[in-house]
């Protein structure tokens, strides 16, 4: 249930999308909502239908006091590890805001290193409206990236599985091989690179 809070405080919500996929950037969003212009229907992006997410993403971009979407690239994920790359994307999103919040609330159990007061909120995407809004922007932005990859590389089915290691995706990876958008540090990709004849699972 989305919580109520003191409307006098400028709160920034932060969330990410794309920690689990085998390919593509990890994306983070930061959102400061306008207390005078509330947005009905905010919720954890994973609980919303794709069409609803897209509609809400447009409303968030129109009504929020400030918002930003940033990413950490595949190369950064492989170099830093996925957790540190996620923290980097979150930091970039907060630093890109055009309005300075008084408090940053981050979905999950840890916060990136910021120059602002910050707190982690477990399951915050379902309880904190700013985090719910950030989850929607991050998810829709990353899904759009995967749709673009699908146009470039239709054989991999990126628009359907969004890079997650589904049976369909792993079969395509075995058949067509590892291309530049893949995270080489992730187990199934690393296994295939080390042993091209292996059965990736």
Give pLDDT tens digits for 164-184: 999 999 999 999 999 999 999
Residue ranges per structural domain of the chain: 11-143, 151-194
Q: For residue 197, is pLDDT > 80?
A: no
pTM for the whole structure: 0.92
10 Å CB burial of residue 143 (0-12, 13-18, 19+) is: buried
Q: For residue 116, is pLDDT > 90?
A: yes
Q: Mention the CATH class of domain 11-143.
A: alpha beta
Give which of 142, 171, 143 is closest to 156, Cα–Cα: 171
* Residues contacting 139, CB < 8 A, separation 6+: 17, 45, 46, 53
pLDDT at 4: 46
Mean pLDDT over each residue of the chain, to the nearest integer: 93
pLDDT at 198: 59
What's the order of all strands across the beta sheet hosting 118-121? 66-72, 26-32, 11-17, 103-107, 118-121
The model's confidence at residue 190, banded by pLDDT at 50, 70 and 90, is very high
Share of the chain above pLDDT 90, in %: 90
pLDDT at 9: 84
Q: For residue 149, is pLDDT > 70?
A: yes
Q: For residue 128, is pLDDT > 70?
A: yes
Using the 8-state DSSP alphabet, how is residue 23 labeled?
B
| Lowest model confidence (mean pLDDT) among 1-5, 13-17, 118-122, 127-131 | 1-5
The model's confidence at residue 44, banded by pLDDT at 50, 70 and 90, is confident
């Amino acid at each position: 249930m989305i919580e109520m809070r003191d409307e006098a405080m400028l709160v920034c919500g932060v969330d990410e999308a794309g920690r689990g996929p085998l390919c593509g950037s990890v994306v983070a969003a930061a959102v400061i909502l306008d207390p005078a212009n509330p947005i009905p229907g905010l919720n954890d992006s994973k609980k919303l239908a794709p069409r609803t997410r897209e509609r809400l993403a447009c409303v968030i971009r129109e009504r929020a006091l400030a918002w930003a979407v940033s990413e950490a690239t595949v190369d950064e994920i492989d170099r830093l590890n996925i957790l540190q790359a996620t923290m980097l994307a979150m930091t970039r999103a907060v630093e890109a805001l055009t309005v300075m919040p008084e408090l940053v609330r981050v979905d999950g159990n840890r916060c990136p290193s910021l120059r602002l007061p910050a707190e982690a909120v477990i399951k915050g995407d379902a309880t904190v409206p700013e985090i719910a809004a950030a989850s929607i922007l991050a998810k829709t932005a990353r899904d759009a990236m995967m749709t673009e990859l699908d146009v470039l590389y239709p054989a991999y089915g990126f628009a359907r599985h969004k890079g997650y290691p589904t049976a369909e995706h792993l079969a395509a990876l075995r058949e067509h091989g590892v291309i530049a958008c893949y995270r080489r540090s992730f187990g199934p990709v690393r296994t295939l690179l080390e042993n091209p004849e292996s059965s990736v699972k």
